[in-house]
Chain A
Amino acid sequence: MTDFELEDRLRQAALHYHRPPETPREEMWARIDAARAPRRGRGGILAFRPRLRWGIGIAAVLALGVGLGRLTVRAPAAAPVPARETNVALQLATAQYFDRTEAMLAGFRADAKTGRLDPTFVASAKDLLSTTRLMLDSPAAQHDPKLHALLDDLELVLAQITQLKSEPGSQDAEDIRFITQALEQRGVLLRLRAGVPAGPARAAAQGVL
């Protein structure tokens, strides 16, 4: 067989690689619509002109830089922390927490389908559960019903994962199924992603706190 023939057959065979099923159009739209519904109607209110948008962007970056700079300098022990800095720190901590939780749950769900659950998920869930409870008590969650509801759902899912046995292969398939069902039915991952800022903000949060 010539290289050309091999390449042609290779392309034909590649069509079978990860062949997609029919698009689950309505199911996906239902979730997108649910995530978008609260945000619709606000469109156009903040439709800045390009130059103004850049200005605001630069100002935001500068403000973040100043905030981070101050956070990295040790303040005298008794000095009170200004509310604005606390907010920046909380936002960064929240972004980092969302990022870690999303990665853990996405990995958990993918592993759950193979029936071979990595025991490190149990340890990660314990760690994240503590953070979730701290965040539930934070002023941000107290004043934001949407965030509070998401954290409630995360607490439930993470608590269920921590109850799984940590030895490889010893987990109860029924328990795992209930957890993945809870993830799906409550749209936890999607809400988590909708609440997480885009890439650069996440990157900025890495290693800051």
Chain B
Amino acid sequence: MNETELITRARAGDGAAERALYDAHVDRVYRLAYRLAGDDDLARDFTQDAFIRAFERLDTFRGEAAFSTWLHAITTSVVLNGLRKVKRLRGRERDLDDARDVAHGRRDSEPDLKARLARAIDDLPEGYRTVFLMHDVEGYTHEEIGAALDVETGTSKAQLSRARAKLREALKDFAGDWV
């Protein structure tokens, strides 16, 4: 049974068709949610939420784009909105952490370049970070990213270029001793 038939059946409330659609796409959705959230519980919640919303809104899927494109647009929306909420709540705590980092010196406390890179990625503006993770880490094309984030392909390319430049800048002092 092809995907169009599965969608038709899922629209009619067929649980087996929903499961088949889930099986076909869950790995990529979960991986993206995890890359963006960095937390298994949040990634699970976001993945579940994305599929539930997708199944509930199947009537609005017109088939002009691929189902995976439509599903990833829902996923990125769920994940980014969810992360903003968590970030707001944890803002105060993060401020305290940053103050501690400044007091003790980040360079000395984080000799591992991967840890520095992780922090540099965390510090990227949301748009740059999302595009960088989708393109360079998870292998999405600029067309897929543009559709998922509702931006032009050129915007996706520009954001990726700026993200890479910011990371290079943040890590340039490690260029000689990368491990």
What A residues does B106 contact at CB under 8 A? none
Q: Is B44 an interface residue (CB 8 A)?
A: yes
Give the Cβ gap from A193 to chain B, nearest Cβ, in Å. 5
Give the Cβ gap from A96 to chain B, nearest Cβ, in Å. 13
Q: Is B152 an interface residue (CB 8 A)?
A: no
Of the listed stretches A12-20, A77-85, A149-157, name the one at the interface; the rest are far from the partner chain: A12-20
Q: Is B118 an interface residue (CB 8 A)?
A: yes
Task: Establish whether residues A15 and B26, one from each chain, have CB atoms under 8 Å apart when the complex forms.
Answer: no
Task: Establish whether residues B85 and A9, one from each chain, have CB atoms under 8 Å apart when the complex forms.
Answer: no
Of the listed stretches A34-42, A67-75, A86-94, A158-166, name the one at the interface; the rest are far from the partner chain: A34-42
What A residues does B11 contact at CB under 8 A? 43-44, 47
Task: Establish whether residues B52 and A17, one from each chain, have CB atoms under 8 Å apart when the complex forms.
Answer: no
Task: Establish whether residues A28 and B18, one from each chain, have CB atoms under 8 Å apart when the complex forms.
Answer: no
Q: Is B37 an interface residue (CB 8 A)?
A: yes
Q: Is A186 an interface residue (CB 8 A)?
A: no
Task: Establish whether residues A36 and B52, one from each chain, have CB atoms under 8 Å apart when the complex forms.
Answer: yes
Give the Cβ gap from B171 to chain A, nearest Cβ, in Å. 7
What B residues does A115 contact at CB under 8 A? none
**27 A-B residue contacts at CB 8 Å?**
A6-B175, A7-B164, A9-B178, A10-B164, A13-B114, A17-B117, A18-B36, A18-B133, A20-B43, A24-B30, A24-B40, A28-B44, A28-B48, A33-B15, A40-B13, A48-B59, A50-B62, A102-B85, A103-B85, A106-B42, A106-B45, A109-B41, A110-B39, A111-B93, A118-B89, A118-B90, A190-B48
Q: Is A198 an interface residue (CB 8 A)?
A: yes
Task: Establish whether residues B86 and A110, one from each chain, have CB atoms under 8 Å apart when the complex forms.
Answer: yes
Give the Cβ gap from B123 to chain A, nearest Cβ, in Å. 12
What A residues does B86 contact at CB under 8 A? 103, 106-107, 110
Q: Is B107 an interface residue (CB 8 A)?
A: no
Given contacts A32-B51, A103-B85, contact A14 B45 (CB under 8 A): no
Q: How distant is the Cα of A106 from the Cα of B82 in the complex, in angstroms?
A: 9
Query: Which of A108-144 touch B at CB < 8 Å?
Result: 109-111, 113, 116, 118, 120
